[in-house]
Amino acid sequence: MVFSTQKPAEIKILNIQDDIFRRVTKVRYAFRFNIKESKQTIETEQGTQEISGYEYIEQIYETEFDLILKSALPDILKVMYEKANPVVQENTQLAEVEIPKEISLS
Amino acid sequence: MIYKKTLPWKNLLDIPQGLIDSDKDGVFENLKLPWEGVQNKPSAYRPYDAIYIPKNPIAYFKDSLVDVLRGIKPEGYDESTKTDYGLRTATDADGNLLLVVTERMDDTPFPGVKSFAVEEGTENLQASEYTLNHTSEVTIEQIDDGKLGHYKVSVPAGTYDYNPKVWFTPNASLTAGKTYTSSLYVRWIKGYTSSAYVWLNSATGGGNGADSTTKKKPRDGRAYTVFSGLAVDGEFGVSLIFPKTLTEDLIVEIWEPQLEQKPFATSFVDGSRTTGRFYIPLENLGFDPANDDWVIAYWKKPTGTNSGWSGFNIFAIGKYSSDYSEGYIWVGKDANYDRLALHVVHDDELTHVTNDADYPADYLTAWHFEVLRKTDGVVDYFLDCKKVLSVAYTTMPAFKDGIWVGRWAGGISNMLVANLLMSKATDENGNLIWTDDYIRQVYELQRPFII
């Protein structure tokens, strides 16, 4: 779980490196899913404080794209995000299922 | 792979152990040994025991941590005796601190590496004043070798008693309800028996042991004991007792009695040190934490938190500011969520990430290799070579504070640390040395660093 004091963008490009000899661009980017408002307790030198912010799931990836696709990267990442989002949602729901600790056959 | 530049092997794991079988430089032609130009190389570090950090070949070892920190007192440093308890450091040519090692006898967490205790919040009660008491059947002989309270103790066969036979009494008054840690180094000269105890108890009467947990770790003929307990009102002592009849004469040497008010048993220093902390200022780091790519790597064994075992146990760089205007990163056990957490101030905001899984059950009781790595756009935290937490960022505010080893925003988190390395994560050409794979190799090799 990630908590940030500011509402994050769903997609954040962290770093781009162009390799003109290999004609590729290497992109490091983060997808943020399930963004919702939240509160967090933190410790400071003044004591415990509760601060407001946003809670979300973050996945960081690094992918190489052909250099000619560089200008289209925002759209490509957007499509990738939209494809990944329902899968993450589904997996999150599956993971949140609670099962009993003791299971009896009778 | 960066190692091709320095060593002929493709990666760290390919280096045959013991290939360089002596500390004579120049055994192999064309192999530039990493300590060429190094002054005062520590004898404990042999080539085949070390991981080379190739990007700083001109590093040299200072005499002590105190020299490097230019007047900042680290944990354990004693103003009066000018001792630093074996802490040694390596710096680059500009005097930036890169590595902290120690020369203790414990050889943990693996051979060739020796830990140092970070004991924030410790109040030492033993100081250099103590009284040594003994019963009539025991004879003592002081050994004047500079070690605090060094005595040879002889106990005749037939001795049996739960009451103390030899005990140090500190010149300090203790308070019921507070927690104290006491320890004593012991070397068994003759008649070693596992039924003889070094015990923290009331010095005036037996049977009042607050904690009889006793550990003996024979090594090279040596044994030492570390234990802790809750205090009772009145005198307190570090004692030798003999709950089983001694079948032969017993001779032991004892030294460095220690009594401290603190929550955890981490006494690995002698009794004369003052209250301390371990802070490494910004100007001693070889990197700009906000703008450079850097790595802080260390082996760590938590020995307690600010609140029993339920509080924080973290490693921090920078300091908290309510408007997020100062650089601040910490990593470790988060008390509020009982999880590992990575806490990063960046881009005028604060991001706090906690792990949902992979929290090792032995995190608080065993040695683990931790790496905090900042590269362009991401701060990563590795535990035992697995990347467990990451925080993405665009910009990071300037840091106004340096590294707090074993400390968080106002609290303490005691730990043992070994092989602490603080360095840029890239080589001189900007290529990343500390890749995920490199971190895995460093973890699997379990060797000390040498610069």
- Domains with residue ranges and CATH for chain B: 2-121+276-450 (2.60.120.200), 124-261 (2.60.120.260)
**Token pair 């320095």: residue:** B6
**pLDDT score recorded for residue B77:** 46
| Distance in Å, alpha carbon of A51 to nearest chain B alpha carbon | 10
Cβ contacts of B136 within 8 Å, gap of 6 or more? none
- Reduced to 3 states, what is the DSSP secondary structure of residue A6? coil
- Reduced to 3 states, what is the DSSP secondary structure of residue B5? helix
Q: Where are the beta strands (DSSP E) in chain A?
A: 2-4, 11-19, 24-44, 47-66
Query: Measured over all CA atoms, what is the biggest interatomic distance in chain B, rounded to whole angstroms?
Result: 73
Residue B69 has pLDDT above 70, yes or no: no
**In whole angstroms, what is the distance from residue A59 CA to residue B187 CA?**
54
Residue A31 has pLDDT above 80, yes or no: yes
DSSP bridge pairs for B341: B332, B354
**pLDDT score recorded for residue B207:** 37
Q: Residue A106: inside a domain, yes or no?
A: no
- Which of A4, A53, A60 shows the shortest C-beta gap to B390? A60
Between residues B194 and B135, the one the model is more confident about = B135
* Tens-digit pLDDT profile for residues B70-93: 333 444 444 444 445 455 555 666
- Cα torsion angle, A29, A35, A37, A41, sign: negative
Contact: B350, A14; criterion CB under 8 Å: no
- Which of B324, B353, B378 shows the shortest C-beta gap to A1? B353
**In whole angstroms, what is the distance from residue B181 CA to residue B341 CA?**
29
**pLDDT score recorded for residue B437:** 86
The single-letter DSSP state of residue B76 is: T
Q: Any CB–CB contact under 8 A between B431 and chain A?
A: no
Q: Residue A76: inside a domain, yes or no?
A: yes
| Distance in Å, alpha carbon of A34 to nearest chain B alpha carbon | 15
A61-70, A84-93, B37-46, B167-176: least confident range: B37-46
Between residues B66 and B444, the one the model is more confident about = B444
- Which of A1, A4, A14 shows the shortest C-beta gap to B356? A1
CB B90 within 8 A of CB B98: yes
Query: Which residues of chain B neighbour A53 with C-beta distances below 8 Å?
Result: 349-350
Contact: B394, A14; criterion CB under 8 Å: yes
Structural domain boundaries enclosing A9: 2-96
Residue A40 has pLDDT above 70, yes or no: yes
A51-65, B31-45, B169-183, B274-288: least confident range: B31-45
Q: What is the residue type of A76? A: I
Query: Which residues of chain B neighbour A30 with C-beta distances below 8 Å?
Result: 392
Regarding pTM above 0.80, the answer is no
Contact: B354, A60; criterion CB under 8 Å: no
CB A73 within 8 A of CB A36: no
CB B420 within 8 A of CB B451: no
How far CA B159 is from CA of B22, B190, B249, in Å, comes to: 49, 15, 9
Contact: B353, A2; criterion CB under 8 Å: yes
Residue B133 has pLDDT above 50, yes or no: yes
Count of residues making up chain B: 451
The chain-wide mean pLDDT, for chain B, equals: 65
**pLDDT score recorded for residue B265:** 47
Mean predicted confidence (pLDDT) in B438-451: 72
At B327, list the tokens. Answer: 């650089």
pLDDT tier at B411 (50, 70, 90 boundaries)? low
Q: Residue A39: inside a domain, yes or no?
A: yes
Cβ contacts of B421 within 8 Å, gap of 6 or more? B53, B98, B99, B295, B296, B297, B298, B449
Q: Any CB–CB contact under 8 A between B324 and chain A?
A: yes
Q: Which residue of B has its CA nearest to A32?
A: B392
Q: Residue A103: inside a domain, yes or no?
A: no
The enclosing H or E element of A81 equals helix A73-96
* Tens-digit pLDDT profile for residues B308-338: 566 778 888 998 888 999 999 999 887 766 6
Q: Where are the beta strands (DSSP E) in B62-160?
A: 87-91, 97-102, 116-118, 123-124, 130-134, 139-142, 151-155
Q: Which residue of A has its CA nearest to B312?
A: A43
Residue A7 has pLDDT above 90, yes or no: yes
Phi and psi at residue B391, to the nearest 5° = -130, 125
Contact: B348, A42; criterion CB under 8 Å: no
Residue B396 has pLDDT above 90, yes or no: yes
* Tens-digit pLDDT profile for residues B330-380: 998 877 666 888 999 999 999 988 876 656 778 877 888 999 999 988 999
A7-11, A85-89, B447-451: least confident range: B447-451
| Distance in Å, alpha carbon of B314 to nearest chain A alpha carbon | 12
**pLDDT score recorded for residue B141:** 93
**pLDDT score recorded for residue B165:** 73
**Token pair 């962290």: residue:** A14
What value does the CA radius of gyration of chain B take, rounded to a whole number of Å? 24
Q: Residue A56: inside a domain, yes or no?
A: yes
Q: Which residue of B has its CA nearest to A7?
A: B349
- Cα torsion angle, A50, A53, A58, A61, sign: negative
**pLDDT score recorded for residue B279:** 72
- Which of B320, B351, B409 shows the shortest C-beta gap to A4? B351
Between residues B52 and B109, the one the model is more confident about = B109
What ipTM did this prediction achieve? 0.73
**pLDDT score recorded for residue B97:** 58
**In whole angstroms, what is the distance from residue B82 CA to residue A77 CA?**
60
**Token pair 């040596």: residue:** B222
At A65, list the tokens. Answer: 């794209």
Q: Residue A105: inside a domain, yes or no?
A: no
End-to-end alpha carbon distance in chain B: 18
Angle CA B72–B287–B344, to nearest 5 = 90
Probe site for chain A from B352, B374, B395, B407 (most A CB atoms < 10 A): B352
* Tens-digit pLDDT profile for residues B32-68: 333 333 333 333 333 334 444 443 322 333 333 433 4
**In whole angstroms, what is the distance from residue B451 CA to residue B449 CA?**
7
Counting the structural domains of chain A, the total is 1
Q: Residue A35: inside a domain, yes or no?
A: yes
Contact: B320, A45; criterion CB under 8 Å: yes
Mean predicted confidence (pLDDT) in B277-299: 83
Q: Residue A69: inside a domain, yes or no?
A: yes
| Inter-chain contacts counted by CB atoms under 8 A, chains A and B | 68
The enclosing H or E element of B440 equals helix B436-445
Q: Of A8, A10, A17, whose CA–CA distance to A63 is shortest?
A: A17
| Distance in Å, alpha carbon of B377 to nearest chain A alpha carbon | 5
The single-letter DSSP state of residue B234 is: B
- Which of A1, A15, A44 shows the shortest C-beta gap to B377? A15
**Token pair 């697995």: residue:** B386
Mean predicted confidence (pLDDT) in A85-91: 90
